[in-house]
Amino acid sequence: MPEKIMHHCIKELLGYDQEDPQEENIEALCKLMRTIGLVIDHGKAKVLMDAYFKRMKMLSCKQELSSRGRFMLVNVIDLRKNKWQESVKLEGPIPDAVGIKDSCVFLKETSTINESMDVNGFNVLPSQVESVRRLFERHPDIAVRFRAKNQLLRNSCMNSLLGLIETLCQPLEDLSNEDLIGAEIALTYVKDSGFSVDWLEKKLDQVKEMKEKEVSGLAILQVTEEKLLKLKQKCAELEALAEEQKAESSATITPLSFYDVV
């Protein structure tokens, strides 16, 4: 399919002519980006791609969208940040002559399955095994209500959960408001998928409260430092004035000599 049609399809799905695209368009957009993102994200299209992802980032923060839609947007944004490392391809022939709307139907997402290990019914990467085991040791009932059977979906939910935990482990100074918004979206997603994560929700609330205190503290510190700077400047001016007055005073109290009197 010509790249021009791909870009036209993306613009249609992004809904530049409307405030909020339809939910089904968001899902189609994310699938489309995951499928062709690596192909069209090159130097000549950088301006267009940056514009697309700027709008996607804005949409991912809109509370009007469902948590699922926002989470899908965040996932695609992260995928681009990771230089499209996830393997994707186009399945089946895509005729050049079909219409734009029909072209999007031909785009399907596929992914390669890396070597994995089973931990409590979840296929995880070797690097995740220890974390998932400890997760189930600390919270044995975490997946009691988890009903998804599709392994790709199970993996996606577990990766989202691990990613959320990793986010909360970051230093406060490294956490942005966007990170916390993404964490809220991820939390909603894993809760909706069936994970019992009340403990994690409390941790997120704690981190948000700590972040608010940090931001507030930094603002107060900035005001204090500005006041201190003004005081230091005032002190410097007073010291200079005192030295000047001291010099004048020394000149007036110098005793007259014989020749001054005579």
Q: Enter the pTM of the model.
A: 0.48
pLDDT of residue 49: 92
> 39 CB contacts (<8 Å, ≥6 apart)?
3, 6
Domain carrying residue 88: 3-105
Q: Is 41 a domain residue?
A: yes
Verify that 158 and 194 share a domain, yes or no. Answer: yes
Q: Is 254 a domain residue?
A: no
Confidence of residue 13 (pLDDT cuts 50, 70, 90): confident
Domain boundary among 105, 131, 158: 105
Q: Is 232 a domain residue?
A: no
Domain boundary among 211, 239, 257: 211
Amino acid identity, position 178: E
Of 13-27, 85-99, 102-116, 203-217, highest mean pLDDT: 203-217
pLDDT of residue 170: 87
Whether residue 98 has pLDDT greater than 70: no
Query: C-alpha 206: how far from its chain's center?
Result: 18
Structural domain count, the chain: 2
76 to 11, 101, 150, 256: CA distances (angstroms): 16, 21, 21, 89
Domain boundary among 55, 73, 105: 105
The predicted-structure confidence for 32-72, as pLDDT tens digits, reads as follows 888 788 888 888 888 899 999 999 998 988 888 888 888 88
154 to 123, 158, 196: CA distances (angstroms): 8, 6, 14
Average pLDDT estimate for 238-257:
79
Verify that 11 and 96 share a domain, yes or no. Answer: yes
Q: Do 108 and 35 form a contact (C-beta atoms < 8 A)?
A: yes
